[in-house]
Amino acid sequence: MGISDLILMRNCRSCELPGTLLCERCRRRVEDTVVPQRLFAGSLPVHCAVRYESTARSIVLAAKRTGAAECVAVMARLARVALADCLDDLAVDGRICVVPLHSGAKTRAAAGQDLVVAVLRQAMKGLPAPRGQVQIADVLQIRPNRLQQKVLNRQQRAGNVTGNIRASPRTRVQGLNVVIFDDVMTSGATLQAAARAVSARGGLVRAGVVVAYRPWICADLQGRRVSG
């Protein structure tokens, strides 16, 4: 371990092993136990890779706070699993546009990039889908929320995002199949607001996809394994 590692306190964010922000054991612990879930944000089905807890939570927080490449890469691999599960479930004809929800200003400053977009771009590489069938459509315009979502209950979260998300007037999603993508889902309010914004421009919002979900929302028990 070099001087720079000592200065930057490069310990695994999950188990504290020195030398890396994410050790191989913790990476495998998350990636090898992924079982995609389908939850609902209102009436919108949302495909998720993992619960936002334990090692998975540590990985996401490290990516948000440092932009560490190893953590972003794990998030992308998890996102790819959830995306593939979503595409298998949809089985629709025609092009599918994956619309990312942008990271907030605080996360962009800490991670040095728009984390949601970065994770999605990596996840799309190697996605088991025909070339050209699934494409990223960066069409959302997001204003900062009045209050931090994490301090609000479910009803308050829905009101807090109302009017803050819209699709660009130049958006070309009329009649296209759309999937909304985000990193973490808690109440689903942000995903629903994004779905409404895209629908207002004529997009056919079929589902949402997230890397992780907080175990707050009731799961869809039909044909899916549900943890907890």
For the stretch 2-60, pLDDT in tens is 333 434 557 888 888 887 888 899 888 898 888 899 999 989 999 999 999 999 999 99
- Residue-wise pLDDT tens digits, 94-144: 889 999 999 988 999 999 999 999 999 999 998 876 656 899 999 998 766
Mean pLDDT of the chain: 82
Which of 47-56, 87-96, 190-199 is least confident? 87-96
- Which residue is associated with the tokens 């308050």? 156
pLDDT of residue 208: 98
Task: Return d(Cα 202, Cα 219) in angstroms, integer.
Answer: 28
Reply yes or no on whether the pLDDT at 227 is more than 60. Answer: no
Task: Return d(Cα 86, Cα 221) in angstroms, integer.
Answer: 16
Reply yes or no on whether the pLDDT at 175 is more than 70. Answer: yes
pTM of the model: 0.84
